[in-house]
Chain A
Amino acid sequence: MIPAPFTYLRVGSVQEALDALAEYGDDAKLLAGGHSLIPLMKYRLATPKVLIDISGIAELSGVTFEGDSLVIGAATRHAIVEHSPVVKEHCRLLAYTASLVGDPQVRNRGTIGGSVAHGDSASDLPVSLLAMDAQFTAQGRNGTRTIAAADFFVGFWQTALTPNEVLINIKVPLAKQRWSYQKFTIRSQDWATVSSAVYGNAVALGAMADIPIRARDVESALLQGADISQAALLADHNTSPSSDTRASSDYRRHLARVLTEDGLREALARN
């Protein structure tokens, strides 16, 4: 469980990070909390030659307002998102979702940016961010661009970020919507077997495909006036869950329906 040799660089600004990425190209990887990347490196499933540690970049950490959005720096730790009074007041869904990530040690190290950039469909935060239609700001050498959540997750462990970009922040709407996050785990502290986030009329699912996805059929059924239990039955439409030691794809489909129904009911009750 020892990673292949690598060089470690600690950078103090986004510009330095971008310069380093440009210099080392494909050999380099950004390191934030290290809680997804380091395990992969220990198995030598990832063998970057250079690690660029961005976790100390002050401008990447913290929560601010911008218009009617909440802006969360990419290197903000899960624990900050979980406990921040601002996030708790303006975006309970996000604070609550962060509180379910791993255990306290993981939340004290892992970052929201690392969690989304890792692109694992069983991660918690991406599912809620997708339900909220969050906006992801990426910075490259040629400036910044905004990527909509719906376009951000591309494939298994793949996102729309290019290797030369740094994710700067994530913007979530301030609108107070009814919300719920349902996470099914076999043991209390674990990755989701399936998860379901509800935010207003949006429903998103985790671990039901190679990326977090929206349950569009549920959403449109609700808009057309279907009741919750009927709409929830559509939760597994257009999903492609995998089978593994925790659950078969059929069981995941069932869980998606159950969690979505529970989520919709809980969200309604919060109204």
Chain B
Amino acid sequence: MSLVGARVLRKEDPRLLTGRATFVDDLLPANCTFAQFIVSEHAHADIRHIDISQALQIPGVLGVWTALDFRDYPDLPGGLPDLERPPLATGRVRWAGEPIAVVVAEDRYIAADAVAAVKIDYNVLPAVSTIRAALAPDAQLLFPQHGSNCLVTVPMLDDLDRAMEACDERAQLRVVNQRCAVVPIETMACLADWNIDGLTMWATFQAPHHLRNKVSAWLNIPQNQCRIITPNVGGGFGAKIVFAPEFFIMPLLSKWVGRPVKFSQSRTEAMLQMTHGRDQEHDLEVGFDRNGRIKALRMVVTQNLGAYADPTGLGLPVLTNWMAGGCYKIAKVQTAFRCVVTNTTPVAAYRGAGRPEATYAVERLVDLVARRTGIDPVEVRRRNFIEPQDFPYETHNKAVIYDSGNFPALMDECVRLLDYETERKRQEAFRNDSSKPLIGIGFSTWIEIAGFGPNGSLEGFGHLASWESTQIRIHPDGSATIFIGSAPHGQGTETIVSQIASDELGISFDRINIVYGDTGTVIQGIGTLGSRSTPMVGSATKVASQRLLERAKKIAGHLLEASEDDLVVADDSFSVRGTPGKKVGWADVALASFQPLRLPPELQAGTLEERLFHESPNFSYPSGAYGCVVEIDRRSGKVRVAKMVLIDDCGTVINPLLAEGQVHGGVAQGIAQALFEEMQYDPSTGQPITSNLIDYLIPSAPDLPNYIAGRVNTPCPNNPLGAKGIGESGAIGSPPAVVNAIVDALSHFGVEHIDMPVLPEKVWKVLSTATKGST
């Protein structure tokens, strides 16, 4: 029986669910010391003086270091030339929470006392905390040497004015994709131990080799003396591929104090220091005809980068522009973007990274077209879909060629499972009954770019390359260890890879284990990001398994005196087709592979080891149709998601249980963005006002609906598995479905748009104005 496609329980769950998994902060080597940052209390200021003398007098404090101590080291990797982020604020602080100094002490408590004892004298500057403030003509500049707070501008090739004018109708929309905090359960943590033999650092990170490459270069030490271990990682969502200063500073501190140094953030530190996500403003225009056919689309994105240009932060508006056309056949699509710095936490990837923003924009526009033409939003989508026969489909951007999909089928299934007509009738009936909530129905049909990626795609973000590695090792007893370059942090990749390898090798699932997250044992790797692990490392493992099996069959054939072509492998043994009883166990084949006297002459001992760096010719393009029904309380304006239908097409599904889990989690984050979450700053001081989980509203289970899931499967043509990736789908597809439903519920009041997060008060304002207007 094939394991690929089966609901196999997760290999990693027993250790995670019994509390026996090891996270960085669980590690406590002998003589460990503890580090904590002293961070800026102002959003924008020049540092006049740092007084560490009192802190140094506290017994148990081993030292306090400032930017001066790191002057021989470069700025943090990535970013823009001359505008890079220093490891510690140098001269100027650019956001409230930016690390200025670092203390190392015998324990966490002493470190915290020392932090409180460091006195910093600031010359406070005006803070610019919004895009608008940053672009004001007289705005205070974050980088005076650059002359503007706008660091990057990529204009349109053609302003589309002519194409727009040629349309029957056109509509403009301005949408804000608000700043979200990333909030993994495990905050940033690392433990650096630099001794005579070199550096070992345990870090909570999504890409250990990537970190190894950058840290060793920064420290100017050989890569073989820089070992990065990412043990169990409690969520990353993109913020854990960022080169945070702790990963560079802690090794040096360990060297300087001659002991291991541990750093672990509190939640508030994480809320201010881990990169945030989203934070784009879109100026959109769409041209269409009276039949709802979209002819032209224009998207101008303004990206708030926060205080420094993070390399992935710079990539966000690029991806948004790439995906501007959504799943629609639009003759003319033109895009532009600019990146602005503000006195806020830097912005980088957050689950979806640029694609949720694109999807939100297009899906809001399509609903606007439906509204303006009076045609049902489902019908408008159907009229504009790229058809199944159109694939591969070249988009407005030559980097983006959609591989496969079936949008009409997704839409049909979504409408069916949502029970669309019944819901419309209920909406109608409730609208005129003031004892009933207002009902709204919203859709989002979407496509995203995943499976990063083809050669060249990740290099732009500072990665070594874009392949992913696998290495399969058969032990003398026929069990297998697979080393994978992509280090998971909650995805269940151990399970997925074991399923694939088990099917190919005929070794049972429980006799396969997966090793990852250690540059000392895993050959090389890129990382878990961009919904790439299943398409990339899964494909790598499938092909490598097949290659290894060829040699294993040679050995089995030799032992059985049968032709290798007649062999079938299953259930940990090789048998000869058509000759019942003639078989040899995998264990014996594996044993023979280490015993030259039992090997066929063309093979050598240790032959059952295979490694592969899988390259992909294209990205993969997961897609879906999500439908949402909301109920709005007429008096308070509170929105309840009553129904959420999720039809996904991620190509071949390796494990439905895990695929659903990924979608559930992503949709939870998407609903959270639509209804609850927003990282906010005081507009005058730039002080964060949602820096803990009391004020930053992450929802919990009772705030979320039960999901109704369905599936359409168009296999990805670009990898041997046919898998597209599903890690980010939920977060990409769900926000516009929810907001479209809310706007739909309020449409009879003339509402055409409402910005996220749709807190009750926003809706109440609409409702109270509407009722005032009618009396």
Interface residues of A (CB under 8 A from B): 1-2, 4-5, 42-44, 184, 186-191, 244-248, 251, 254-255, 258
Contacts and interface: CB of A to CB of B under 8 A. Distances in A.
B109 A186 contact: no
> Considering residues A42, A186, A254, which has the most beta carbons from chain B within 10 angstroms of its beta carbon?
A186
A186 B697 contact: yes
A255 B113 contact: no
B112 A246 contact: no
B761 interface: yes
A221 to B, nearest CB: 20
Contact of A1 (B266, B676, B760): B266
B332 interface: no
A251 B761 contact: yes
Interface string B589-617: 00000000000000000000000000000
A239 B58 CA distance: 48
B116 A255 contact: no
B703 interface: yes
Contact of B116 (A4, A188, A251, A258): A4
Contact of B703 (A4, A188, A244, A247): A188
A244 B761 CA distance: 12
B185 to A, nearest CB: 15
Tell which of B113, B267, B676 has the most Cβ of chain A within 10 Å: B113
Contacts of A186: 638, 676, 697, 759-760
Given A247-B761, A251-B761, A254-B764, A1 B113 contact: no
A246 B636 contact: no
A258 B635 contact: yes
Contacts of A246: 697, 759
Given A2-B108, A186-B697, 9 more contacts: A4-B113, A44-B116, A186-B676, A187-B699, A189-B702, A244-B695, A245-B680, A246-B697, A247-B761
B697 A1 contact: no
B761 A245 contact: no
Interface in B670-723: 676, 680, 689-690, 694-695, 697-700, 702-703
25 contacts: A1-B266, A1-B269, A2-B108, A2-B111, A2-B112, A2-B266, A4-B113, A5-B113, A44-B116, A186-B638, A186-B676, A186-B759, A187-B698, A187-B699, A187-B703, A188-B700, A188-B703, A189-B700, A189-B702, A190-B697, A191-B694, A246-B697, A251-B760, A254-B764, A258-B635
Given A1-B268, A5-B109, A258-B635, A187 B676 contact: yes
B761 A248 contact: yes
Contacts of B694: 191
Contacts of A42: 266
Contacts, number: 55
Contact of B689 (A5, A191, A245, A258): A245
B223 to A, nearest CB: 35
Interface of B: 108-109, 111-113, 116, 266-269, 635-636, 638, 676, 680, 689-690, 694-695, 697-700, 702-703, 759-761, 764, 768
A251 B766 CA distance: 12
B703 A245 contact: no
Provide the main secondary structure of the chain A interface. Answer: loop
Q: Which 7 residue pairs spanning A and B have beta carbons closest together?
A: A1-B266, A2-B112, A188-B702, A251-B761, A258-B635, A188-B703, A187-B699
Contacts of A5: 109, 113
Query: Which of B680, B690, B700, B761 gathers the greatest number of chain A CB atoms within 10 Å?
Result: B761
A190 B695 CA distance: 10
B431 to A, nearest CB: 20
B109 A2 contact: yes
Given A1-B267, A245-B689, A246-B759, A184 B699 contact: no
A4 B113 CA distance: 7
Contacts of A254: 764, 768
Contacts of A184: 636, 638
Contacts of A190: 697
A85 B760 CA distance: 36
Contacts of A4: 113, 116
Contacts of A188: 699-700, 702-703
Contacts of B269: 1
A247 B638 CA distance: 12
A20 B661 CA distance: 53
A255 to B, nearest CB: 7
A87 B112 CA distance: 44
A253 B153 CA distance: 45
B695 A245 contact: yes
Contacts of B700: 187-189
